[in-house]
């Protein structure tokens, strides 16, 4: 096993993979930085490996896979000691997949749409209409939390992938615990997990600092 992860630490999808690696206690992963702000993801060598030129990108010997959800699922299936993070049971897995699609279809697009004009286009203010989309994501997530975790009574990839995004959204538009008590409590639970502390906190700090610097 030779795992190589192409990454930028501030990226929420990258941090989802970090947290999965920590939760699985995978050793000896090589990390290679790809500076999106400098366009390194558009260089020929990287595009040949990943035509979508996105991070994270994982290389496992001669196998290459991108998209954080696909990577996380692959890591659990290939290297996990059990299926707790990504259940084999079709109904349980469907609940996890449902929340992963919620992340890729609602949460992350709302976050990306909000910060992209600031990070890449030089805008100095967050657009109101984009903040409203983040708020909408919070409302959905609040309604989903009928159990302690997003897909049941224990942590799964649903929590790991969604918390990478929601913790970043929280930096952009802080979660109102009075409006969203379940979501606020869930984020607090996640933040106490070792995989969160080791796999999310460092990159989240970089995201916070980058956002602050671009808005100043």
Residues designated catalytic: 11
Contact status, residue 14 vs residue 68, Cβ threshold 8 Å: yes
CA distance 119 to 121: 6
CA distance 130 to 197: 28
The radius of gyration computed from the CA coordinates of the chain, to the nearest angstrom, equals 17
Strands 3-7 and 29-33 turn out to be parallel
The 3-class SS string of the chain reads CCEEEEECCCCHHHHHHHHHHHHHCCCCEEEEECCHHHCHHHCHHHHHHCCCCCCCEEEECCEEEECHHHHHHHHHHHHCCCCCCCCCCHHHHHHHHHHHHHHHHHHHHHHHHHHHHHHHCCCCCCCHHHHHHHHHHHHHHHHHCCCCECCECCCCHHHHHHHHHHHHHHHHCCCCCCCCHHHHHHHHHHHCCHHHHHHCHHHHHHHHHHHHHHHC
């Amino acid at each position: 096993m030779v795992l190589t992860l192409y990454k930028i630490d501030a990226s929420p999808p990258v941090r989802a993979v970090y947290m999965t690696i920590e939760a699985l206690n995978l050793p000896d992963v090589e990390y290679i930085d790809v500076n999106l702000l400098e366009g390194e993801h558009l260089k020929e060598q990287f595009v040949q490996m990943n035509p979508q030129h996105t991070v994270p990108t994982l290389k496992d010997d001669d196998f290459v896979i991108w998209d954080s959800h696909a990577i996380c699922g692959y890591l659990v299936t290939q290297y996990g000691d059990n299926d707790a993070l990504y259940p084999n049971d079709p109904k349980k897995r469907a609940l996890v997949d449902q929340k992963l699609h919620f992340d890729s279809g609602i949460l992350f697009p709302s976050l990306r749409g909000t910060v992209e004009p600031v990070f890449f286009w030089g805008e100095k203010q967050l657009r109101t209409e984009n903040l409203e989309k983040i708020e909408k994501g919070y409302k959905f997530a609040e309604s989903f939390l009928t159990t302690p975790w997003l897909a049941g009574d224990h942590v799964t990839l649903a929590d790991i992938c969604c918390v990478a995004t929601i913790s970043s959204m929280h930096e952009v538009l802080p979660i109102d615990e009075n409006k969203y008590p379940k979501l606020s409590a869930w984020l607090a639970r996640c933040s106490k997990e070792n995989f969160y502390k080791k796999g999310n906190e460092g990159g989240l700090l970089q995201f916070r600092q980058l956002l602050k610097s671009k808005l100043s």
